[in-house]
Amino acid sequence: MASGTSIYEKYFDFSPDAIIVTDQDGCIRQVNPQCSRLFGYESSELLGNKIEILIPLRFRPHHPTYRREFHASPRMRPMGGGLELYALRKDGSEFLADILLSPVDIEEGRLVLTVIRDISDRRRAEETLHQTEERFRLLVDGARDYAIFMLDPGGNVLTWNPGAERLKGYKAEEIIGKHFSIFYSHEDIDRGKPAYELKTAISEGRYEDEGWRIRGDGSRFWANVIITPLYKPDVGLIGFSKVTRDLTNRRRAEEALLLELSNAVLSGLDIRQMLTAISASIQRLVPNDYATIALYDRNIDRLRVQELSPGLLKEIILPLEGSPAGWSFRNRQPLFMKQLDKKRFTRESLAHQIQAGVNSGCWLPLNSHDDVLGILFVGSRREDAFGPENAEMLLQIASQIAVAIDNVCASQQILELSHKLEEEKRYLEEEIRTEYSFEEIVGQSQVLKRVLKQVEVVAPTDATALIQGETGTGKELIARAIHNLSPRRERTFVKLNCAAIPHGLLESELFGHEKGAFTGAIAQRIGRLELAHEGTLFLDEVGDLPLELQPKLLRALQEKEIERLGGRRTITVNVRLIAATNRDLAAMVRDGEFRSDLYYRLRVFPILIPPLRQRREDIPPLVNYFVAKHARRMNKRIENVPVPVMAALTKWQWPGNVRELENFIERAVILSNGPDLRAPLAELELADEPVISSGDSDLETAEREHILRILRATDGVIGGPDGAAAKLGLKRTTLNSKLKKLGIQRDSYS
């Protein structure tokens, strides 16, 4: 007995859980040392006190009733009952507790033994694990364009997501338990391809491939497949994850483009047409930033390099020794570099790639019969830009180019190409850039250059920028340029159009919500501010932000903290904000429609984008850019914009700015069947158009008349591909706002 008492006392004193002994009245008779550590009380402060001292205030009124019920029907209540019980420390803080109750009968009467365990950390870990599992499930189930599933170590299907069902044509009950070789052709199965893929994944840690696969209905699709082995500590291989993506459309497009290139080079085209076909096809098949053709000159035993990239017309002479092109030429093998190898090859031989900003590339021999005519080089500013999936396509391109050069004896003609390329270079241009190298921002006017200079100044900082300008001037392009030039460029660029979302949903879009936060909130949603953490948030049409939401956005920007709707947890957000509007925010502040404190917070660095009518010298390069862009997309060859057409386009006021101009040019390309651009100038009605003064009232009158003409021409239809909004190059919501602003009623045009 004495020995048993000793063991009990030791357990009581050294238990990792708090132990409390109370009588039937709830008075604390005994506590162990861990109780003092857990609750923050000295033992003397607890002894003789009621047990309710350790219970949160909101539960105390009901506790005596629970205590009487327990004594009326005594029983042991073990831990782990699933109840959410809370305990109260001396400092007023609460913690989640698991509690064991056990009646103990002694001579003096019945006592209650209470064991209390702090499970706050465990509950947080469980909630974190649950959230992680739920996010992973949502990620897998939501990836409807990807088949994502697991295989057991033998290759049998274990899981099946909705994307796999859509892509492969099997329901889960039809495929789970089947071997994954069911997706392969008989030829692939006969040569052991499925087993080879699993074996390679195990030996190399990953297997990636592209090839034809079979759907449940027997049809084929071209798939990109990634297989990754899965391991568990102390167990080893437990299976494989398999991700499949349908690239059939891309494959067919590549085959069509290769056929187009083949027809071009075999049909006896002249050298200019051939290089046009080569440049356009390479860019469409394998997007790149820089390409050259180097032909071998036997007289000097060197390579003559002709740059295919737009605007670069000089010829370069390369030695065979010490250059990657020379290595590929000598060995008759392609050479792929994830990064330019400046140790293996001389800097002189890589000078033109370095000058073009190339960081990775591939050199492909132009093999013709038993001879090598030269080298095709394709480069990118990104590192490791050309993977195994590009190799086959690039080799086919090189083969077609070799045939072309061989057929038209292009070796000498390419040396004379400089002057001809000057005449035809618009067909080799894939994009037009300003001298600042801002992608997709076209123009050389001084006012545009000033805007781009402002972009260069503000981009490296974290300052908030407010971009102002009329609809269609390219505010989003400027915002993306700021992001791409900023230290946050590797992070996410998140866009939210405040005018395109109903006011009642904007708060949820910005801040997110918890499940059950409001009717219809059936799942947790992450807001745009949280998505843009460490990146850039672009608020377009910020003038349409509701007044009641503005102080909450201001607080998020200043405090860098948010709470989701219906949530209690504070979430840290580090966001660089760029806002844009076509409205006069200063006037809105004066009219009480926009908060002044938010306005000044947004207007740290204002950028005003001039309308197209104030930078008319940018219209010709924009026209050429849009003609090339849409002609290429529609597979048309438009060689010339007639002078009268260009003059008319330059003279027009373009109330819809660049967006209206692009839509107009797209229509013109559709209407053009020959080499000259046929523009529907009747739509502009230039002959009846008055000279527009610089006054705002005259401009507003001209804009109103132009919109009315288009509305009458479309029979009052605003939306749709043939509606007034599309013809004006405006969004439907923006056009409705303009109609309201200009006082245009339906009876004015219907």
pLDDT of residue 389: 65
Give the tokens for residue 687. Answer: 């002959």
Ranges of beta strands (E only) in 298-370 are 302-307, 315-319, 335-337, 360-368
Question: How many residues make up the chain in this entry?
Answer: 750
Give the tokens for residue 46. Answer: 């607890």
Count of alpha carbons within 13 angstroms of residue 462, beta-carbon side:
8
Count of alpha carbons within 13 angstroms of residue 709, beta-carbon side:
16
* Residue 253 included in any domain: no
Our count of domains for the chain comes to 5
Question: Is 80 exceeded by the pLDDT of residue 334?
Answer: yes
Residues 216 and 275 in one domain: no
Q: Pick the closest to residue 702 from 692, 713, 716 (CA basis).
A: 692
Residues 377 and 495 in one domain: no
Above pLDDT 90, what percent of the chain? Answer: 27
Measured CA distances, 334 to 375, 519, 693 (Å): 9, 61, 62
Mean pLDDT across the stretch 383-391? Answer: 77
pLDDT of residue 550: 93
Residues 406 and 469 in one domain: no
* 431 neighbors 439 (Cβ within 8 angstroms): yes
The domain in which residue 158 lies consists of: 124-246
* 442 neighbors 430 (Cβ within 8 angstroms): no
Residues 282 and 171 in one domain: no
Mean pLDDT across the stretch 147-160? Answer: 88
* Residue 644 included in any domain: yes
pLDDT of residue 537: 95
Task: Work out whether the CA dihedral 640, 644, 645, 648 comes out positive or negative.
Answer: positive
pLDDT of residue 82: 65
Look at residues 246, 274, 305 and tell me which one is the last residue of a structural domain. 246
Q: How many CB atoms lie within 10 A of CB 150?
A: 17
Q: What is the amino acid identity at position 132?
A: T
β-pair partners for 147: 244
The residues, ordered by sequence, that sit 6+ positions from 154 with a Cβ below 8 Å of its Cβ are 179
Element (H, E) at 224: strand 220-232
Residues 602 and 683 in one domain: no
pLDDT of residue 261: 57
pLDDT confidence tier of residue 686, bands split at 50, 70 and 90: very low
* 204 neighbors 196 (Cβ within 8 angstroms): no
* Residue 397 included in any domain: yes
Q: Are strands 109-118 and 18-22 parallel, antiparallel or unpaired?
A: antiparallel
- Residue 633's CATH number: 1.10.8.60
Mean pLDDT across the stretch 267-272? Answer: 50
Question: Is 90 exceeded by the pLDDT of residue 88?
Answer: yes
CA–CA separation, 99 vs 85, rounded Å? 8
Task: Give backbone dihedrals phi and psi of 725, rounded to 5 degrees, phi first.
Answer: -60, -45
Question: Is 50 exceeded by the pLDDT of residue 172?
Answer: yes
* 104 neighbors 110 (Cβ within 8 angstroms): yes
Give residue-wise pLDDT tens across range 219-248.
Answer: 888 888 899 999 988 888 999 988 888 877
CA–CA separation, 474 vs 580, rounded Å? 10
Residues 597 and 641 in one domain: no
Give residue-wise pLDDT tens across range 530-575.
Answer: 888 899 999 999 999 999 999 999 999 999 999 888 887 888 899 9
pLDDT confidence tier of residue 439, bands split at 50, 70 and 90: low
Residues 602 and 620 in one domain: no
* Residue 367 included in any domain: yes
Residues 564 and 645 in one domain: no
Give residue-wise pLDDT tens across range 455-484.
Answer: 999 999 999 999 999 988 989 999 999 999
Residues 547 and 673 in one domain: no
Tokens 């490791």 locate to 384
What SS3 state is found at 706?
A: helix
Q: How far from each other are the two terminal CA atoms of the chain, in whole angstroms?
A: 104
Ranges of beta strands (E only) in 312-354 are 315-319, 335-337
pLDDT of residue 5: 54
Residues 151 and 202 in one domain: yes
* Residue 486 included in any domain: yes
CA–CA separation, 660 vs 727, rounded Å? 7
* 702 neighbors 694 (Cβ within 8 angstroms): no
Greatest distance between any 2 Cα atoms in the chain: 117
- Residue 181's CATH number: 3.30.450.20
pLDDT of residue 268: 47
β-pair partners for 632: none
Give the tokens for residue 540. Answer: 């377009």
- Residue 335's CATH number: 3.30.450.40
pLDDT of residue 8: 66
Q: How many CB atoms lie within 10 A of CB 270?
A: 11
Determine if the pTM surpasses 0.85: no
Look at residues 554, 588, 608 and tell me which one is the last residue of a structural domain. 608
Tokens 């069947």 locate to 673
Question: Is 80 exceeded by the pLDDT of residue 688?
Answer: no
pLDDT of residue 516: 78
Strongest mean pLDDT among 412-421, 498-507, 578-587? 578-587
Measured CA distances, 414 to 1, 252, 293, 307 (Å): 107, 31, 9, 10
User: In this predicted model, which residue has the larger pLDDT, 108 or 382?
Assistant: 382
* Residue 436 included in any domain: no
Give residue-wise pLDDT tens across range 613-670.
Answer: 999 999 999 999 999 999 999 999 998 888 888 888 998 889 889 999 999 999 999 9
- Residue 600's CATH number: 3.40.50.300
CA–CA separation, 2 vs 4, rounded Å? 5
* Residue 431 included in any domain: no
Q: Pick the closest to residue 637 from 272, 268, 249, 254 (CA basis).
A: 272
Look at residues 608, 637, 669 and tell me which one is the last residue of a structural domain. 608
Task: Give backbone dihedrals phi and psi of 519, rounded to 5 degrees, phi first.
Answer: -60, 125
CA–CA separation, 593 vs 587, rounded Å? 8
Tokens 């090859």 locate to 345
Question: Is 70 exceeded by the pLDDT of residue 201?
Answer: yes
Residues 713 and 687 in one domain: yes
* Residue 441 included in any domain: no
Residues 110 and 155 in one domain: no
Q: What average pLDDT does the structure give for the chain?
A: 81
* 714 neighbors 727 (Cβ within 8 angstroms): yes
Give residue-wise pLDDT tens across range 270-314.
Answer: 545 565 566 666 777 778 888 888 888 887 888 888 777 554 446
Q: How many CB atoms lie within 10 A of CB 732?
A: 15
CA–CA separation, 688 vs 183, rounded Å? 65
* 561 neighbors 570 (Cβ within 8 angstroms): yes
